[in-house]
Structure 1
Amino acid sequence: MTAPRRDPEPAGQRRREVTVAGIAKLAGVSAPTVSRVLNGKSGVALDTRQRVEAVIREHGYRRPEAEAPAAIIELVFHALESLWALEIIRGVERVARENDLAVVLTEMEGRLTPGHAWTEQVLTRRPTGVVAVFSELTVAQQSQLASRSIPLVVLDPTGEPMHETPSIGATNWSGGLAATRHLLELGHRRVAMLSGPVQWPCCRARLDGYRAAMEMAGVPIDPQLVRVSTLYVEGGLRDGAALLRLPDPPTAIFTANDLQAHGVYEAARQAGVRIPQELSVIGFDDLPFTQWAGPPMTTVRQPLVEMGAAAAEMVVRIASGEQPPYNRLELATELVVRQSTAPPNR
């Protein structure tokens, strides 16, 4: 009886045996050059770095156990200027604590893409994983993280979610639809929308939800009532005031986030317009301050804590070798009706 033929050693096992010297030979460079690439150091030409990273990806190089990832989750924000960010941090911190991990926080002061210094620092720290919030890592940065086996999860991506990059979001379109329908059901027909930058999918989806609700109700949209604003109080104040100065102002305003809605509150106060008697207002996010606004604000709840937790959990799963059952997860939004909406008085 012929003994069964043994299959070649599994690819995963062969890959673990690839050394820095082996990578150097395959890439046609020196071992120190490979080490510089692995550690995110400068001084390596771009084409050389890309060639080394391609070999690393192809052969699945893994560092020795002595160089295991640090027990931290790298959390990257484009800005930390509101309670929106704090809610996400709470979710990430909760999962990190449950897994005996620390959280390292980086703010990019409004920039969407981290700089070269951040990339080098992260590659040197080798965290358990990276959660990028409302940020855009370049293809090169994503490639560098992948070549070091550092999982990346994007939360509320600013670009179109890529299938190969795990991402967490919310049902923004449904939220915009529900908010606008609520106003229409109250009897409003002059319904304005303050959108955020439409190049961001989350803002565009909320605007599309508004448009869909108006179309379904057979209510024409006055172009003057749709404004693209900034996602801050100042934007809501400026564009809310402009809407209220129109010869035929809106009776209701739906905003892309709670900060804009807070600005609309102030614009109404300055114009002597009462909420909700003369103007209904709906925000988006359900940040803690909304229930204490005067009057308490109707808003669309975005599960920010849960979104942060989901992103951290996905990072932990990927780092432990699990393949997540999905690459894109959207958590449900919910309309929270308070006292800033009422039927129009005209």
Structure 2
Amino acid sequence: MPDNPRRATLATVAASAGVSVATVSKVLNGRSDVAPATRSLVESLLREHEYVPATPRREPCGSVELQFDDDLNAYSTEIVQGAVQAGAEIGVGIVVSINKDPGHSTAWVRDLIAAGRTALIAVTCEQLADQQVAALARARLPLVLIDPLNLQSASVTSVGSTNFAGGLAATRHLLSLGHRRIAYVGGPATAACNQARLHGYRAALEAEGAPVIPGYVWSGQFRYHDGLLGGAAVLDLPTAPTAIFAGCDEVALGVMEAARARGLRIPEDVSVVGYDDTQVARMASPPLTTVRQPLREMGGMALRTALRLAAGERIDSRHVELATELIVRGSTAPVPG
């Protein structure tokens, strides 16, 4: 990451406090030989200046933080597996954490550095705040986002997948089975990955001359409960869909349960397609047709990219998309009747 020329230094804080650089250093290191009033003043100025110790360029070693901002699920587990496996091959430790509230950006980054992290890989349900990204940049602590819900500034590195192509493939598969009443139950309406899958869905329908029926697009979160709600909403319409494309596998399982609660059989009465190809897709009954998002490969690539940034190497692209693939299983069938 590029240096920020306005980054506060120990000398900056010392000058503001009217003390020596050594005194500021003692406060940072928790030394006891500093007067309480002086300590309080220096700590206040450290926060005011948003001081974060600059970290030198590192060789690929040490540990990398893989941080989530929500509870782990089948999707998260795949990413962890990929990152841990790549770390074992390279000889780098992976520390997995859940941080739903990073609090003050500077203190959050300072804690990462104090723990000896080489880089941060973040999987977030929300967009990182600009202050958090800026604090990481000032500290020269590399950041890589995995499958970001929203692409941030061009300077933020991310690893994702071809979501538009995935949405296109899922919908084309249903169209090939004769379905024309196809609903989409997806994630957050403003999320970039959800928008790309939805655009792929719409593009496939438009190319076939099939309409997007009013009420057939439903947005929630990428969670099982939202699949229950979204599935109920579209299946209770006066003209119910014969097929549903879900924004992720967990949502797809909720949709399937909503269909069963209405006496509908899968795939005889309604076909369902998921997205991600996590373990739950293979364990579903019937096994779920889904778009495989290469989550393990994404975890491994994110780790290797983070280590390249930490070593001061240049990377060819700030955003990498890995290919998706349609996996056909038992949850889809030709249109009924």
- Same fold flag (TM > 0.5): yes
Amino acid of the structure 2 residue aligned with 1:129: A
Amino acid of the structure 1 residue aligned with 2:49: T
Name stretches of at least 5 consecutive residues in structure 1 with no aligned partner: 1-11
Task: Report what 1:133 is aligned to.
Answer: 123
Amino acid of the structure 1 residue aligned with 2:311: S
Amino acid of the structure 2 residue aligned with 1:79: D
Task: Report what 1:6 is aligned to.
Answer: none
Task: Report what 1:191 is aligned to.
Answer: 182
State the alpha-carbon separation in 2 of the partners of residues 278 and 243 from structure 1: 14
2:221 corresponds, among 213, 230, 237, to 230
Q: Deviations over 1:283-316 (max 9, x none)?
A: 0000112123211110000000000101000011
Alignment of 1:192-271 (within 5 A): 192-271=183-262
Alignment of 1:1-346 (within 5 A): 31=21, 35=25, 43-44=44-45, 48-49=49-50, 71-108=62-99, 111=100, 114-116=102-104, 118-134=108-124, 135-346=126-337
Amino acid of the structure 2 residue aligned with 1:119: V
Amino acid of the structure 2 residue aligned with 1:48: H
State the alpha-carbon separation in 2 of the partners of residues 218 and 42 from structure 1: 65
Amino acid of the structure 2 residue aligned with 1:133: V
For the residue of structure 1 that corresponds to 2:244, the secondary structure is: strand
Q: Is the 8 A contact 1:36 1:44 kept in 2?
A: no
Change (3 A) 1:272 1:94: same
Q: Deviations over 1:243-298 (max 9, x none)?
A: 22222110000000001110111112111111111101000000112123211110
State the alpha-carbon separation in 2 of the partners of residues 129 and 307 from structure 1: 16
State the alpha-carbon separation in 2 of the partners of residues 37 and 99 from structure 1: 37
Scaled by the length of structure 1, what TM-score is found? Answer: 0.82
What is the root-mean-square deviation in Å for CA atoms of aligned residues?
A: 3.1
Which of 1 and 2 has higher RCO (CA within 8 Å, sep 6+)? 2
Q: Is the 8 A contact 1:161 1:167 kept in 2?
A: no
Q: CA deviation at 1:199?
A: 1.4
Q: Is the 8 A contact 2:69 2:98 kept in 1?
A: yes
Q: Is the 8 A contact 2:119 2:143 kept in 1?
A: yes
Change (3 A) 1:313 1:125: same
Name stretches of at least 5 consecutive residues in structure 2 with no aligned partner: 30-41
Q: Is the 8 A contact 1:133 1:155 kept in 2?
A: yes
